[in-house]
Structure 1
Amino acid sequence: MLKFKNKYLFYSFYWGIILYIFYNHFKTISFIQDDAFTVLRYVKNFLEGNGLVFNVGEKVEGYTNFLWVILLSVIYKSETLLKLNFDLPQLTQILSSFFGLVFLIAVYVTSWKIFSSLKNYNKTLQYISFIFPVMILFTTPFNYWSFSGMETSLFATLTLLSIHLLIDFEKGNYYKYFLLTSILNSLLRPEGLLFFVLLIVVDIIYSFLIATKISPFDETSKIISSKKKKVIVIFLLIQLVYISFRFAYYGFPLPNTFYAKTEFTFNFLLRGIDYFFKYIITDLYYGVVLLPVILRFALKKFDRIEFIIFSFGIIYIILTIIIGGDVLPIGRFYIPITPLFYMLFFYSLLNLKQFYEFKMNSIIIGLLFATTIISSIINYDSNKTEMMEKRSYEIGLVTKMKSYADWIKNNQTKNVTVALSTIGAFPFYSNVKVIDIVGLTDEYIAHHPKEVDGIDENLPIFWKERHYNADYVINQKPDFIIFPAGAKPSAFAECAIFINDEFYKIYYLQLFYADGFDQLLPIFFKRNSVRIDSSDCNVKFLSHYINANNLFLSLVKTKNRKIINEILHQADLANQYCPKRVSEINSIKGMSFYHLGNFNIAKKYFEDSIEEDSMNTISLFYLMNTYSKLNEIDNAEKTIIRLRKISSYAIKDLYYN
């Protein structure tokens, strides 16, 4: 009884500490990734009776987490009936965090299952399983994605449970639970189907290796048990039904995002390699974690657990490299396999001959536990800064996009169309028709991309999805076009639009004061009259224009006067390649001198800019402020009148300084 009580107290203390740390991480890190709002838009339309669509009336599968959409819909409908008053963003964040905690429990349970199969397993060694939830709790990918409002934590949990159940596949009804978990995982993410295939295949290969070792003439049919055959058939039938539904409803066998994202090119391969090496450094301790299992394979001493987990993990890594890794940050793709590699490190180490007869006592386990915790915390702290920077970026993006949505709802009619590349918070909060310029929720762009020569990896931009079609977007005549980074493009699709002649002729940039964001935000409007200009613009203009903008932002942040020469140099190069955009180029020069306090020089550039394009609202706004700084009040007031005619939303209560 005393032993039970002590064990109970230990478990309570351990999980109490885990829960305390988890809750503190939640308070510090929790946010909602912009991508999560894309799913919420589907959920909202589904609950409102519009079907599983992004834009009402357009059946496009722009999500890759069917089960998550259904789960959110069912729970939200239930809690609405119960009057719990959670909104959809709160619900997705709660579920994501909840499954993050469940994932930690799954890590413990799976590790216990794995280590209990050791030949030298004893009562002391059972406590080794408590190491792994702590290790995962102090990894940045787990923390970032568990508190992001996305389905990643549930997917990682189901993946781990699948492996747990596969270990005892032939015992009792384990194969049924494995089948159920695998089906749910395949409905949650497309990778779930891949994971099922990988796990079954590597297990069959191991059975084949063992069978041929024992009896080279053994029949292959005996290698695949009747239970495995049954699981494979039922799983494939379920997939056939699901794909048939997808094909009948959306017209394609795969999600639209597959056609919009997937590309097998050398550049994608390089990105995938970079993604993998970052994972090796940040989460696998420069590859040290893999050394024991690699040694076991080299010695041909591996057992079934090592073969399944290591083969599964390595094949999955190779596939992620081939597809170019993930466009989203902080190692999302590798979360399901990270705890497995941690477990393999200790499991393979204890299986080595040198450790096989080593008696693991409580002191050794305690030292191992302490060393692991300390190294995990140190590693977490070294990677935390990057995680928090990405989190801050997402929070800023969501806040900005919500401000755009609020402005559209408050100042425009409902039947407007907006084109942009970030299809999360803005579509969810605005409820307007959206043209997704990177094609994730646009069927035409996904299947008919049109690249522009010169828009390539060398451009200094953040988002590099290669599927876009600027001509198609402009031909749709969107009422507004939004670049999330402001007035400059930050994605291939935005670059293609920005350099497009029709865009230059039809659209101009307006500013509006966003109360929620407490600053001016740019948005491209249609001109009242089309600009007539037949001169060409070399695509090389883009690189220098973006560089000049980025340097300007650096100047504003650092106040480093030395940057001004490089800004002018980049701006002049941009002007050489595209003289007709001289108004925008002079705006950058003027803003740079304005923020250095050289108002007379700034005034000259702004006046030249407006002379070239009387609808350059950025130059007009800055010129208004410049006149104010120079105490030219009459000119400032005249500029206000001009600004109000073309960008009436830019000034709030005669705002200028």
Structure 2
Amino acid sequence: MADLLDILRTYLLVTRPLTTVMLALFALGLVAWRVSALPPGLGPGPIARRRRVERILTAIVLLGGLAHAIHQASLFDDAYISLRYARNLVEGHGLVFNVGQRVEGYTNFLWTVLLAGANWVTGVELPLLALIGSLTAFAVTILTAARLGRRLSPSPAGTFHLPLAAALLATQAVFVEYGTTGMETGFVAMLTILGAGAFCFATDRKGMRWAGVCFALATLTRPDHALYYAAAVMVGALPWLATIARRPPAFVASLRSEDFARVLHLAAPALLVLLHLGWRRIYYGEWLPNTYYAKAADQVYWQQGLRYLTAFLAAPHTWVLLVVIAWGYSRATTLPARRFFQLTLLTAVLVTAYLVKVGGGYMFGRFFVPLVPLVVVAAEHSVYASLHRAGHNGPRRLKHAALFGLLASTAVSAQLFPVMQYRWNMNEQRSYYRVRSWFPVEVEHWAYDHGQQLGELYDAGFRPKIACSGIGMISYYGRHELFDTLGLTEKAVARRRLSRRGIPGHEKMATLEQILEGEVQFLLGWGIVGGHDRLKKVCLTPPTCKPKWQLLYYDRDDMALLREIAPDAKPPKTERHIDRYIRRLARRKQPLDDRAHARVMAKLAFLDDFYFQHNDDDARRQRFVRAYEQALPAYPHSWDGPVATKP
């Protein structure tokens, strides 16, 4: 509860400086109302000219939205996980992250496969294709919202219609952010609003079937969009259920009715989802993606879910849109409008309940983005329905004009999250991963630069197995076999039991035993494990050497290659260190006492794990053992000496 109050308090504080801008937008909304309120015989000329003006305004809104999205373009690290899967698919390794390891560490099957197909056909680099795909989906969503808003409008045919929903989508930060990012979010939002439009205006079985295809494709893009599909089927079944309710004995006959046939055609494309489910079981051996377990989606985390919901209601002023929708819901008189409102309402309830249950996510607003187009179109319709209902009654029209102002005032969002900082276990990812170049794609983040340097080492033949979290750019550009310490691509880690809750998706961490069992040689993101800093710290990215990796075991051949191809890397000289230790031990004048003996045994145990088990160097170990034996006291003791050969 304290966090919820903190979110609301922060919202009020950051909204105060925006008051002037929001009032100006409110005034602009009143102007929009005045233009929209003109009778069909007035306004910018004949109907054809009005339509031309509407199209020009829509084009301006679209271009403005694209400029806005490109100006703040970002390419998230998580997007690169899918890009690595796509590249491996194109290269013939299958839909895998590490070659030969079938783990579904992505949650966007259709998006990943489409990117792979586009790369295979065009040869264009995958990061650029991801950005272009996001922008294309963003543009299609805006145009669809404009057309859908116009078709749902209850105003007379000759009335001038402003594309309010499209304008809001082109300006609201939470939606514009996903106009790039390379994530599947914008694409699935596009499929959702296309499906909603087809569903609302479906007059026959074919229309319902097309709506079902859109919702099925959205579910193939993100499995949780089965909620959107289920909502559409439930709303589509209402006429059939109403018939049964009126005449219960007619149930069998109703199965041959047109209403039931339309429901079947709406649900039929779900076969695509079932086929993919079967393929997943055969290919990956699981019914659900590995990410489902890694992100603890099977657990209840309602405290974080309420934070996620509250922040989404506040920052983009979603609560204002809900007020506008509530005002105009009863004014949805046409069948398409009623369907749209019912679909939006039921979808919002199902999606919100699910997100609150699982804790939302750490990327602010991401999982609500596909719902935003439905909400803004519903809000636009509420405004026009209220205006139409008011007729020519002056006072009532002025009263409803306030809805235009309220809707317009939500165009500017409140900034709840500091740049590149977490708050309430969430952040705005766009502040982390700015695109600094499009041709070729370059991202302003250390992981991008680090991945490029690792890629150069990989191309030179330096290919050890590495482990880290934040695996996207490092794995894509570095190309090394990689162990994800957060478990997205590691089944054993993903199925660990949670000990505590924190940032969603970042709560399950691999144990050191799991990392060592994975035969990882280089580890990033942990403190030095077990001491011996001088032997474990290694620089793979000179000259800055940031971040620093640590060696989990020493391979002489790999280190020799690293010294050859990257002299500035300065890998540890473990052999020299061992030789110096042996010489000091051999020159020891005093016999080993209990403490000194314990230190020598610990040193040998460490070197066995770190060096001798991974290198054919039995002669050096024998020298260590002989030096140890020379340092033993002459009197009897109970210590067990080391074996003569390495374990």
Equivalent residue for 1:537?
A: none
Within 2, Cα distance between the matches of 1:72 and 1:364? Answer: 50
Within 2, Cα distance between the matches of 1:42 and 1:179? Answer: 28
- Runs of 5+ in structure 1 lacking a partner? 81-85, 489-497, 530-612, 614-657
Cα pair 1:419 1:434 within 8 Å, conserved: yes
Match of 2:215 among 182, 205, 217: 182
Within 2, Cα distance between the matches of 1:91 and 1:9? Answer: 33
Equivalent residue for 1:391?
A: 430
Count of matched residue pairs: 491
Equivalent residue for 1:588?
A: none
Cα pair 2:66 2:135 within 8 Å, conserved: no
Match of 1:13 among 46, 53, 56: 56
1:181-580 pair list within 5 angstroms: 181-205=214-238, 208-209=241-242, 212=245, 219=251, 222=254, 225-231=259-265, 234-265=268-299, 268-285=301-318, 287-291=319-323, 293-294=325-326, 303-327=338-362, 329-348=363-382, 356-359=389-392, 371=405, 374-377=408-411, 379-380=412-413, 382=415, 390-395=429-434, 399-411=445-457, 413-447=461-495, 449-451=496-498, 457=502, 464-466=506-508, 468-483=510-525, 508-511=536-539, 513-514=541-542, 520-526=546-552
1:521 is displaced (CA, Å) by: 2.5
Cα pair 2:290 2:489 within 8 Å, conserved: yes
Q: Percent same amino acid among aligned pairs?
A: 20
Cα pair 2:66 2:170 within 8 Å, conserved: no
1:103 is displaced (CA, Å) by: 0.8
Deviation string, structure 1 residues 626-651 (Cα, Å, up to 9, x no partner): xxxxxxxxxxxxxxxxxxxxxxxxxx
Deviation string, structure 1 residues 73-129 (Cα, Å, up to 9, x no partner): 22112213xxxxx321111111111111111011112222333xx4xx31365615x
1:183 is displaced (CA, Å) by: 2.4
Secondary structure of the residue aligned to 1:30 is coil
1:25 is displaced (CA, Å) by: 1.2
Secondary structure of the residue aligned to 2:279 is helix
- The verdict on how the C-alpha distance between 1:198 and 1:504 changes in structure 2, with shifts beyond 3 A counting, is farther
1:415 is displaced (CA, Å) by: 3.2
Deviation string, structure 1 residues 322-360 (Cα, Å, up to 9, x no partner): 111023x231111122232233335446667x9734349
- The verdict on how the C-alpha distance between 1:369 and 1:348 changes in structure 2, with shifts beyond 3 A counting, is closer
Within 2, Cα distance between the matches of 1:22 and 1:293? Answer: 24
- Runs of 5+ in structure 2 lacking a partner? 1-43, 421-426, 436-442, 556-602, 604-647
Within 1, Cα distance between the matches of 2:478 and 2:50? Answer: 54
Within 2, Cα distance between the matches of 1:41 and 1:415? Answer: 17
Deviation string, structure 1 residues 163-203 (Cα, Å, up to 9, x no partner): 11111334362122112212221221112323211211233
Within 2, Cα distance between the matches of 1:248 and 1:150? Answer: 26
Match of 1:169 among 202, 205, 212: 202
Secondary structure of the residue aligned to 2:343 is helix
- The verdict on how the C-alpha distance between 1:466 and 1:202 changes in structure 2, with shifts beyond 3 A counting, is farther
1:28-47 pair list within 5 angstroms: 28-47=71-90
Equivalent residue for 1:93?
A: 131
Name the aligned partner's letter for residue 68 of structure 2. H
Name the aligned partner's letter for residue 492 of structure 2. Y
Cα pair 2:107 2:291 within 8 Å, conserved: yes
1:371 is displaced (CA, Å) by: 3.0
Cα pair 1:261 1:467 within 8 Å, conserved: no
1:88-167 pair list within 5 angstroms: 88-115=126-153, 118=154, 121-123=155-157, 127-128=161-162, 130-167=163-200
1:235 is displaced (CA, Å) by: 2.6
TM-score by length of 2: 0.67
Cα pair 1:450 1:468 within 8 Å, conserved: no
Secondary structure of the residue aligned to 1:24 is helix
Higher RCO (C-alpha under 8 Å, 6+ residues apart)? 2
- The verdict on how the C-alpha distance between 1:520 and 1:230 changes in structure 2, with shifts beyond 3 A counting, is closer
Name the aligned partner's letter for residue 163 of structure 1. A
RMSD of Structure 2 on Structure 1 (CA)? 3.8
Cα pair 1:29 1:144 within 8 Å, conserved: yes
TM-score by length of 1: 0.66
Name the aligned partner's letter for residue 97 of structure 1. L
Within 1, Cα distance between the matches of 2:141 and 2:404? Answer: 22
Equivalent residue for 1:559?
A: none
Cα pair 1:110 1:161 within 8 Å, conserved: no
1:257 is displaced (CA, Å) by: 0.9
Name the aligned partner's letter for residue 245 of structure 1. W
Deviation string, structure 1 residues 192-226 (Cα, Å, up to 9, x no partner): 323211211233246535763x5576638738834
- The verdict on how the C-alpha distance between 1:503 and 1:243 changes in structure 2, with shifts beyond 3 A counting, is farther
Cα pair 1:437 1:445 within 8 Å, conserved: yes
Cα pair 1:135 1:372 within 8 Å, conserved: no
Cα pair 2:523 2:550 within 8 Å, conserved: yes
Equivalent residue for 1:75?
A: 118
Within 2, Cα distance between the matches of 1:506 and 1:57? Answer: 34
1:247 is displaced (CA, Å) by: 1.0
Deviation string, structure 1 residues 583-618 (Cα, Å, up to 9, x no partner): xxxxxxxxxxxxxxxxxxxxxxxxxxxxxx9xxxxx
1:256 is displaced (CA, Å) by: 1.2
Within 1, Cα distance between the matches of 2:410 and 2:285? Answer: 47
- The verdict on how the C-alpha distance between 1:113 and 1:18 changes in structure 2, with shifts beyond 3 A counting, is same
Within 1, Cα distance between the matches of 2:159 and 2:532? Answer: 69
1:227 is displaced (CA, Å) by: 2.6
- The verdict on how the C-alpha distance between 1:376 and 1:30 changes in structure 2, with shifts beyond 3 A counting, is same
Bigger-Rg structure (1/2): 2
